[in-house]
Amino acid sequence: MKLKVIVTPKAAVLDPQGAAVRDAMQHLGMPEVRSVRIGKYLEIELDGDEPGMESRLHRICRDLLSNPVIEDYELKTMSEGGA
């Protein structure tokens, strides 16, 4: 079983890293860039697929992989073999 987790800063939270990348992109010949927001991307491989695993995964996303005060996360199952 393969999962991906995307952790992004909440819309109301400043993202200085994203602002720096936006400015750099504008200077590197892309003045059309309006905004950039940067988050984390995790690919997780698991053995097995038990019931109850999903809720344990959500708990780990909240407790370990994201900071729920300033970040949102998205948990998706990836098709085997897909990217």
Dist. CA 42–CA 63, nearest whole Å = 15
To a copy of itself, the closest distance from the beta carbon of 4 in angstroms equals 9
Nearer to a copy of itself, 16 or 41 (CB): 41
- Provide Rg for the chain, Cα atoms: 16
Residue 69 CA: distances (Å) to CA of 9, 10, 43, 47, 76: 9, 8, 23, 31, 21
CB of 26 to a copy of itself, least distance (A): 10
- 39: contact with a copy of itself by CB under 8 A: yes
CA distance 40 to 53: 22
Residues of span 60-79 touching a copy of itself by CB under 8 A: 60, 63-65, 74
Residues in the site for a copy of itself, rule: CB under 8 A? 6-8, 18, 21, 24-25, 28-30, 32-48, 50, 53, 56-57, 60, 63-65, 74, 83
